[in-house]
Structure 1
Amino acid sequence: MDDDRQRALLLKVQEMEFVAVELNLYLDTHPCDADAINDYNCAVKELRKYKEKYESEYGPLLNFGFGGFSRKPWQWIESPWPWEL
């Protein structure tokens, strides 16, 4: 089912956001940890990949700012919205 695929991809986005935020917080107090910086950069790269894949298949994750550009018609009003999954 397509809804299951959409949920699974959104879960990957959420997981990678969690990893990136946690590494960001760690790096706030350990700014010279090269391994953590590498892990953070890898997490951000994966996060971007999953976000781009999600948005190309299902539409924007955000309505402005980091959400990027909308295809026509205006995609933000199409449901389900990410928090409705």
Structure 2
Amino acid sequence: MASPEADSRVSEVLIPALDKIIKNGSWRKHSKLVHEWKYETEYLTAPNPPTESPPSSPGVLLDLSFNDSDSILKPLINAASSAHAKIA
């Protein structure tokens, strides 16, 4: 993933939001969104193994790679495009 500083900033912002979406989604039977968000929460809170390869092309979120940015933004976009205000 990215630098530890970027990881902590992303986690500080996204983890509480993800938890709220998971809670509201569970009550409304949005299992696909909840599953995506649980995966992202686990991904963001898991310790990162050291990598020796150079990071992939830069993404749109801080200094996260393009793939990491995409995996975080895709469920956010899906939640925002849902027709339920508490999820979006």
TM-score of the aligned structures, taking structure 1 as reference length: 0.40
Query: Whose helix proportion is higher, 1 or 2?
Result: 1
Larger radius of gyration, structure 1 or 2? 1
User: Which of structures 1 and 2 has the larger relative contact order (alpha carbons within 8 angstroms, sep 6+)?
Assistant: 2
